[in-house]
Amino acid sequence: MEVKIPIKKPPVIDTLPNSLSTAEEQLNMLLKDKFFGFTNFIDLVFWWCVDILHVWGDITGLGYNLINILIFILLQPALILIFFTLWIVERARRGGSHG
């Protein structure tokens, strides 16, 4: 197998940084824009949800901690079990077929 060397320098070569510190700086800027922006969005959604739980706790008089326990310790697992049971019953009713 013969390897051909390009006659002209590919244009991508000119876009590469010529020092490690420059490359690291560019990579950090890309990560900041892509990932830390996403992290900030997730933090924003999380704190918004916490605020909603605080408001629900104040409205009901139960408080944030009890609302959190009711939703995530009792209600969510109960719903998972209910839907899992319904799925099993439906599979048994259809004879275990996949369609």
Per-residue pLDDT of the chain (99 residues; tens, 9 = 90+): 676 766 676 676 677 677 878 877 877 777 666 556 677 788 889 999 999 999 999 999 999 999 999 999 999 999 999 999 999 999 999 886 665
Quote the CA–CA distance of 80 and 88 in Å, as a whole number.
12
> What distance in Å separates the CA atoms of residue 91 and residue 98, rounded to the nearest whole number?
8
| Domain residue ranges in the chain | 17-93
pTM as predicted: 0.53
Helix (H) or strand (E) holding 26: helix 20-31
Separation CA 83–CA 89 (nearest Å): 10
**Contact indicator for 57, 63 with CB cutoff of 8 Å:** yes
